[in-house]
Amino acid sequence: MNEDQPQNRPEGGVPSTDDKYPTELKAKAREFFRRASEVAYALQFDYAVELYLDGLNFWPDALEEGHGPLREVALRRQQAGGKKSGFTDSSRYKKLTGKNPKDAMLKAEYLLCKEPANTSHMTDMIKGALEGGYSQTALWMSNILFEFNRTKDKPSLQTFLFLRDSYAKLEVFARALQACQQALNIKPNDAALQDSLRDLSAQATMQQGRYDSDGDFRDSIKDRQTQERMHSQELLVHSEASQADLIGQARRDYEAEPGEHGKLSRLIDALVETEKDEHENEAMRLLEEAYAQSQQFRYRQRSGTIKIKQIRRKIRQCQEQINESGADDALTEQLEELTRQQLAAELEHYQLCVNNYPTDLGLKYELGRRLLQAGKYDDAIPVFQKSRTDPRHRLASLNHIGQCFFYKEWYADAVDTFQQALEAVETSEDSMAKELRYNLGRAYEADGKIDEAVQCYRKIAQIDFTYRDVKERIDMLRKKTNDAG
């Protein structure tokens, strides 16, 4: 190959890598991406993250269909209050050893999804992408890291040096030059940086001239626009004027091709982002119309998540009123009614989801939670017994099964279930272990087995003395035992 020829290298030297992935692998990846998009509509962000990564395992350089939408899910998860990965995180992507470039990239991307502003995870993801030859992905994440570092109060010199070298490996010399200039701004008298700046300037000029002469620079500009459009996912807050512009453009695009799913999806996203009832109601109407025409359940599923989101917002607003002005009978009654509406809407929504996606154990788990909350224990138990076969929901499902038995006053069965769950806990000090042991203590206590209950509460107190009402229960049960003696 003649190195002087661009060889379809957008934005400098980044080659398109799509052609090296067989059609059958792309098809498998797209099926995971499609499913991920659907569960993200249902606000199951953690499950969506796993599905996107499953697809990227088949097609690791899928930028617009995989990495880009996954980044958007991570940001939405963060907005919804999602926590970073902790000790109890049992995802197989967190456990990857990173011995090969793809695993290293996917592990870093998983951790980045749980903590979207963590520049160390960004750096690790870029390293894996570079080593694996996933050039489009490496460039995209490098651009995100560049902006994060540039806008910091105290930008990192080492990060700009890393980006300079990464862009140079990708032969994106104009960007490497920018990273070097940023580094020089931090350390202006560094002779080595000044030499590097001159070299990169010459390479960027030569590359620009080559594109100008052969016409491929137009492709470079087109790809840069794609990168910039995807980077706009980082903008989490829009002004009202900007939102109106986004809705207007999305509506025009949709009306031009009303049968195109992607354009409808973008219009729905723009409407819902405003968090205004009139826009959300329009979104639900459009989704119901799409469902009526296509009979594709994903549209009704998205409509249901919007309805639930509306009710949750009203609950939050009502609670804020109570916090500010104090509870009165009218506000208390309103909050109770909204809470009933939320549970009814969620029960209906997840029952429909399970009916349409009967093999989705994550949806079964969510349905079980609502059945438990509604006091429908006989209905909840078989649902949780199915969802516990999913490793992601095993412990929580067992815990909820035990709770159902407890509320049915089947205390011996509750004890057996909580003990089974405790045997599967990796560490005795995490929050799930404490909750399971507490619930086990409550079951023993309710069954009249006071000594066993005290032992459960004591083990919790030795780890976390302030956990719930543990110390009060120990004192009460010991007093009861002493009085009986």
Give residue for tokens 């806008």.
Answer: 151
Give residue for tokens 């089974």.
Answer: 420
Q: What is the pLDDT of residue 236?
A: 43
pLDDT at residue 451 greater than cutoff 60: yes
Q: Band the pLDDT of 23: cuts 50, 70, 90.
A: confident
Angle ∠(108,111,112) on CA atoms, nearest 5: 85
Q: What is the pLDDT of residue 2?
A: 34
Environment class of residue 452 by beta-carbon count within 10 Å: exposed (0-12), middle (13-18) or buried (19+)? middle
> Do the beta carbons of residue 71 and residue 31 sit within 8 Å?
no
- For residue 205, how far is the Cα from the chain centroid? 41
Mean pLDDT of 287-305: 93
pLDDT at residue 443 greater than cutoff 90: yes
> Do the beta carbons of residue 270 and residue 250 sit within 8 Å?
yes
Q: What is the pLDDT of residue 39?
A: 82
Most trustworthy range by pLDDT among 58-72, 239-253, 411-425: 411-425
pLDDT at residue 9 greater than cutoff 50: no
Write down the domain spans for the chain: 18-233, 237-356
Q: Band the pLDDT of 4: cuts 50, 70, 90.
A: very low
Q: Band the pLDDT of 208: cuts 50, 70, 90.
A: low
Q: What is the pLDDT of residue 1?
A: 37
Three-class SS state of 97: coil
DSSP-derived letter for residue 464 is -
Determine the angle formed by the axes of helices 377-387 and 394-407, rounding to 10 degrees.
Answer: 160
pLDDT at residue 221 greater than cutoff 70: no
Structure tokens at 283: 């979104």
Query: What does the alpha-carbon distance between residue 263 and residue 281 come to, in Å, rounded to a whole number?
Result: 18
Q: What is the pLDDT of residue 207?
A: 66
Three-class SS state of 394: helix
Mean pLDDT of 197-203: 82
25 Cβ contact partners less than 8 Å away, ≥ 6 residues apart: 58, 59
- Closest among 476, 393, 485 to 442, alpha carbons compared: 476
Other C-beta atoms closer than 10 Å to the C-beta of 334 total 16
Q: How many helices (H) and strands (E) does the chain have?
A: 22, 0
- Closest among 153, 84, 156 to 116, alpha carbons compared: 84
Q: What is the pLDDT of residue 28?
A: 87
Q: What is the pLDDT of residue 210?
A: 56
* Residue 430, phi-psi category: left (phi > 0), alpha (psi -120 to 50), beta (remainder): beta
Three-class SS state of 376: coil
Three-class SS state of 100: coil
Q: Band the pLDDT of 215: cuts 50, 70, 90.
A: very low
pLDDT at residue 239 greater than cutoff 70: no
Query: What does the alpha-carbon distance between residue 80 and residue 4 come to, in Å, rounded to a whole number?
Result: 49
CATH 1.25.40.10 fits 18-233, yes or no: yes
What average pLDDT does the structure give for the chain? 84
79-112 pLDDT, tens digit each: 777 788 877 777 888 888 877 899 999 999 999 9
Q: What is the pLDDT of residue 321?
A: 87
Q: What is the pLDDT of residue 6?
A: 30
Q: Band the pLDDT of 69: cuts 50, 70, 90.
A: confident
Structure tokens at 345: 């809407």
Structure tokens at 348: 């209906």
Q: What is the pLDDT of residue 62?
A: 86
Environment class of residue 3 by beta-carbon count within 10 Å: exposed (0-12), middle (13-18) or buried (19+)? exposed
Query: What does the alpha-carbon distance between residue 365 and residue 373 come to, in Å, rounded to a whole number?
Result: 12
Q: Band the pLDDT of 237: cuts 50, 70, 90.
A: very low
* Shared fold status for 18-233 and 237-356: yes
Q: How many angstroms separate the first and last alpha carbons of the chain?
A: 92
pTM: 0.56
Quick one: fold of 237-356?
Answer: 1.25.40
User: Among the residues of 232-375, which ranges form H helices?
Assistant: 240-256, 261-273, 277-294, 297-325, 329-356, 361-373
Q: What is the pLDDT of residue 19?
A: 52
User: What does the H/E/C string look like for 155-215?
Assistant: CCHHHHHHHHHHHHHCCCHHHHHHHHHHHHHHCCCCHHHHHHHHHHHHHHHHHHHHHHHHC
Query: What does the alpha-carbon distance between residue 306 and residue 42 come to, in Å, rounded to a whole number?
Result: 9
Q: Band the pLDDT of 16: cuts 50, 70, 90.
A: very low
Q: What is the pLDDT of residue 274?
A: 83
Q: Band the pLDDT of 14: cuts 50, 70, 90.
A: very low
Give residue for tokens 């399970």.
Answer: 354
pLDDT at residue 15 greater than cutoff 50: no
Tell me what percent of the residues of the chain surpass a pLDDT of 90: 44
Query: What does the alpha-carbon distance between residue 388 and residue 125 come to, in Å, rounded to a whole number?
Result: 32
Other C-beta atoms closer than 10 Å to the C-beta of 340 total 12
pLDDT at residue 12 greater than cutoff 60: no
Using alpha carbons, list the distances in angstroms from residue 180 to 164, 171, 172, 394: 6, 14, 12, 49
Could you tell me which residue, 152 or 409, shows the higher pLDDT?
409
Task: Give the least confident one: 133-142, 202-211, 404-413.
Answer: 202-211
